[in-house]
Amino acid sequence: MHWMRAVVVAALSVAAAAGEAPPKKVKIAAISLVWDDGHRTLENALKALDEAGAAGADLACLPEECVYQAAEPIPGPASEAIAKKAAQHKMWVVGNLRELGGDGTFVTSFLCDRAGTIVGKYRKSHRLPYEDDIALGDDLPVFATDIGAVGLKAGTDHYFPEIDAVLRKRGASLVVWSTSPFPIRDEHLETLTLQGRAVHSGLHIVVARYAGKEGYGGYRDRFSWTGTWPLGRAQVFDPDGHTVADSGHAGGVAIATISASRLGGAPRNGGYEAVGRYAAITAPELPPPLPRKEGMKRVIRAAAIECEGDIHRLIAKLDACGAAGCDLVCLWEYVWYGNDAEVEKFRERNRGYLARIAEAAKRHKMHVVIAGELERGFNEAILFDREGNELGRYTKINQTTDKKSKYYQAGDKVGLFDLDFGRICVKICADVYSPELDRVAALHQADLMLLPTQDAGPFTDHTRIRDLSRCVDNGYFLLRAAGGTAQTDHRTYIADPWGFVLAASQYATRNDPLIVTLQLDNRPKYYEWPAAVRKAGPYPDPVLRGIKPEAFGQMYSGRNTPEAKGDLRATLLRCRRPELYKPRPAPM
């Protein structure tokens, strides 16, 4: 071990001799205040800022409506008091209040600089149906700071992944999400989608939210049966989806120390383009959903078959799927030739393989999707229907065929197909680097995403975050047909729209097909409190209104719960604002 120490010392000496300063560190403070009645005061918000300032924060972030009060202008008394704390501690501060504007009441995040000047505002731009008491802002701005370009979002903005993507396209390296408890608070869904947005867009994400005064669940060391308690957990995520600071369920101030080199950036006028493969994202109207026919099958058997290089064993596995009553089978991403010469050399053999797969589809009256370098010299997916006929092909958008090949061809549209039980989308391997593809699938209300892939990146937690968070954000089931690698968690799996794996392959063995029964209409729901509860305000806690005090501490006692009001994805799609997702016009 002595030689290792010597090398390290020598390296440090060289750096010191060269006069290299250590990289600057930036401290980010994510704040979780107490949600309960009487705790959301200006005094408590200022105390939290003092704590962040004492820790040397460069940026401190408060939760949504951090002071429970009537709407007031910004600048106004509360925002100016918060700005004074920014000046006192020479730090940037993001606050959030109800703002009284000339044309309505807004939920507004505001940015204070180190001198205590309010240098920018963001008015919450999206809302769910139960938020009809607020007006909306009409911009997704990014602000320049001395630590980097910062974007802001508030509350239920989080349900719209376009916001994070647009903020990144507009230069943000860090996004601050100031939020308050939703009617249903699901820790898994919020954490997974936060990690996913960080990964997809290469963002640092700061989460400022609320905790309960008696701990998570309203009683210590126990959880909530109703999903209605504040989560606590002020957090900071890095672009790998890793949690670099977390206050825990009890709340408080979480401090993340980040290298300045990982932040930076400057505001620009980016956004989604209105033309091309992903034009649906900015289109003013949603694509039509798949028409529902009377008696349409919506409970299906679906299968994913891991890499199987022997055609005879592959057909045997397809026969096993047929014997199990499968409606849909997703195969791996195959490579059946290595260069242009082999495309011609093996074409008839490869067409013979495809014919055998089509015969299996017909024999068992099931749909089969296979992808890869199959017969035409570029990477594509082929879909066979229940009669063994070719229903369609999808050409891989992020094509991995050598561009020097005379056969090279990249896809120009998303691979959507309507089957007799629902709508599916197909993407292949490197297509995962385009989350826009998944979003277009969601806009078309696809039921399933099929992912044949040789994806074998070094960070498999990154892979799972990416795949599973997109299930949640886009509301689809996932069939992922992969191959084994040196990493033990790189698997074939089937997941649901909540981002949970329903079945996965075993490691380092030849696997049977993964087969799962999927209820395609069993999907996340949209919840809200009844109108009378909403009008009465957040206090006393709607969960406990009318519940006898002696029942408060009982785990199994009754609790009030929000009402399910239909499909979550369908509700969210109606609340999108595609006009905000386009590039901003350049200044005159």
The CA-based dihedral angle spanning residues 14, 17, 18, 20, taken in that order and rounded to the nearest 10 degrees: 90
Identify the CATH homologous superfamily for domain 25-277.
Carbon-nitrogen hydrolase (3.60.110.10)
Phi, psi of 165 (to 5 degrees): -65, -45
Contact present, 576 and 164 (Cβ < 8 Å): no
Identify the CATH homologous superfamily for domain 299-519.
Carbon-nitrogen hydrolase (3.60.110.10)
- pTM of the full structure: 0.93
- Note the pLDDT of residue 8: 29
Taking the C-alpha atoms of residue 202 and residue 164, their distance in angstroms, rounded to an integer, is: 10
Q: What is the pLDDT of residues 196-250, one digit of tens each?
A: 999 999 999 999 999 988 655 444 444 455 566 788 999 999 999 999 999 998 8
Taking the C-alpha atoms of residue 75 and residue 586, their distance in angstroms, rounded to an integer, is: 28
Q: What is the pLDDT of residues 62-116, one digit of tens each?
A: 999 999 999 999 999 999 999 999 999 999 999 999 999 988 999 999 999 999 9
- Note the pLDDT of residue 4: 31
The CA-based dihedral angle spanning residues 453, 393, 522, 442, taken in that order and rounded to the nearest 10 degrees: 90
Taking the C-alpha atoms of residue 571 and residue 575, their distance in angstroms, rounded to an integer, is: 7
The CB density around residue 221, as the number of other CB atoms within 10 Å, is: 7
Equal CATH topology for 25-277 and 299-519: yes
Q: What is the pLDDT of residues 567-578, one digit of tens each?
A: 999 999 999 999
Local confidence band at 543 (pLDDT 50, 70, 90 cut-offs): confident
Tell the residue number behind the tokens 């400022």, with chain if given.
208
What is the percentage of the chain residues whose pLDDT exceeds 90?
A: 83
The CA-based dihedral angle spanning residues 225, 230, 234, 240, taken in that order and rounded to the nearest 10 degrees: 40
- What is the pLDDT of the chain when averaged over all its residues? 92
Taking the C-alpha atoms of residue 443 and residue 209, their distance in angstroms, rounded to an integer, is: 29
- Note the pLDDT of residue 219: 44
Local confidence band at 547 (pLDDT 50, 70, 90 cut-offs): confident
Domain ranges of the chain: 25-277, 299-519
Contact present, 425 and 415 (Cβ < 8 Å): yes
CA distances (Å), origin 501, targets 446, 468, 469, 473, 496? 19, 8, 11, 15, 7
Q: Of 439, 500, 504, which is closest to residue 474 (Cα–Cα)?
A: 439
Of the listed ranges 21-35, 123-137, 551-565, 573-587, the least confidently predicted one is 551-565
Asked whether the predicted pLDDT for residue 347 surpasses 70, the reply is yes
What is the rounded radius of gyration, in angstroms, for the C-alpha atoms of the chain? 26
- Note the pLDDT of residue 7: 29
